[in-house]
Amino acid sequence: MVNTNYFHKGCSDLFQSKTKQNGFISRWPNWIGYVAVGWSLLYGFMHVYWLLGGKGYPFKQGDMGLFGAMITHFPSKVGGAFITILCFLGIFVGFIMQKKKREFVSSGLLLFYAWGVSFVFIFLTSDISLIMVMAYAFLFEFTFDWGMINQLICIIGALFWILAAISFQRRSRNACEFCGRNKEDLEPFVLVRWGRWLTIVAALAPVPYAITRFAWALHIPLGVSRKALQELSNINPMANLTEWVFGFLCIGGGILTLGLIQRWGEIFPVWFPFIGGKRVPIMLAVVPALIVAIAVTIAGFVFTFGFLAITLHLAPINNIVLGQIYGAVGPMIFWVPWGLTLGLSAIAYYYRRRGGCTYCG
């Protein structure tokens, strides 16, 4: 029988002996919980300021309409109070999570809060702005306002809480906080086993959207009426170029995604100038994939909500996009599985290529 308590204690003792040998970032499990608490405190006070009448409240119903952040569909006082309570509750939860002995609160309840608050600040406070900024940057169009900045603040806060939850979860099961390994883990991480299939799904998921864009670029009214396609072109003078660019971005992104399971995703092809034959840095593949995954999943969540609201007659049809919902928005319902599988594929790629842990060996 393996003494997991001894293993966990050994990890902690080994960490103490290697503190000076490893950088601040690599010791993230020691401080990430306090960072999440600090973020919750600051963002909570921002909402107190807005509740008291301060200017700049970011969650107002705007031009996005049905495709705005979920929280914008609530009155500002209700949404502001909800976020304030959630943030201040996080201060207590965060400090409890850092304590070694928790007699009155179960680990499951703490994890429920940590993952729940992460969901709220990723999916309920964000709209399609992030994916729009990323896509239109390829057309050299870039708009950045306070609403966009606030969404990034919320996403960053959610990531703090996700990392705090991961660290806490590892401690709770007596695994190494820094790599998640446990002496009782005899099989590869589950995402590594499913990584190939997840990557294939992630590469194929954007294809329906790309096909629609290519069809529109060729003036084929796929999923929409010919009149609606013409009206969309009149609204955007660069519509034809936009369709081609967006379509090729999806196809190109799908091809790059396959690199997560191909040799050229681990070693640069020899014909690459200067870096040919060298190993691909793990984070060079993982970080961009996770950024795109977050943006795509958020947008897919919002688009799916809008699609269901219109098809179930829960919202009025008040513009041309909503009037052609099946062709204009239908392909985006694949974005949630696209974003989720892309994110999981990137994590599987990381776990497959990572080396030994510098703390537990």
Nearest Cα residue to 40 out of 191, 187, 164, 169: 164
Q: Identify residue 199 by its one-letter amino acid code.
A: T
Could you tell me where the DSSP H helices lie in 273-358? Answer: 282-311, 320-323, 325-328, 335-353
What pLDDT shows up at residue 186?
62
Looking at 14-18, 40-44, 82-86, 88-92, which range is the least confident one?
Answer: 14-18
The pTM for the full model equals 0.89
Distance, in Å, from the CA atom of 349 to the CA atom of 189, rounded to the nearest integer, reads 11
Residue 13 has pLDDT above 70, yes or no: no
Residue 361, pLDDT > 80, answer no
**Cα–Cα distance between 8 and 6 in angstroms, integer?**
5
Q: What is d(CA 278, CA 266) in angstroms, rounded to the nearest whole number?
A: 9
Tokens of 317: 């049809």
Residues 6 or more apart whose CB falls under 8 angstroms from that of 341 comprise 198, 199, 201, 202, 205
Token pair for 107:
């680990």
* pLDDT higher than threshold 80 for residue 54: yes
CA torsion sign, 46 to 49 to 77 to 72? negative
pLDDT more than 70, % of the chain: 92
Q: Which amino acid is at 258?
A: L
Q: Is the dihedral of CA 126, 131, 133, 136 positive or negative?
A: negative
Q: Which residue has the higher pLDDT, 235 or 252?
A: 252
- For residue 93, pLDDT over 70 is answered with yes
**Integer Cα distance of 135 and 254 in angstroms:** 15
Amino acid letter, 114:
A
Q: What is the pLDDT of residue 12?
A: 45
Q: Helix (H, G, I), strand (E, B), or coil: what is residue 279?
A: strand
pLDDT digits over 198-216, tens only?
Answer: 999 999 999 999 999 999 9
Looking at the DSSP bridge assignments, the partners of residue 267 are 279
* Residue-wise pLDDT tens digits, 290-318: 999 999 999 999 999 999 999 998 888 77
CA distances from 181 to 24, 217, 273, 353, 359 (A): 21, 50, 38, 15, 11
288: which 2 tokens? 């961009």
Question: pLDDT (tens digit, 9 = 90+) per residue, 212-247?
Answer: 999 999 999 999 999 989 888 888 888 899 999 999
What percent of the chain shows pLDDT beyond 90? 66
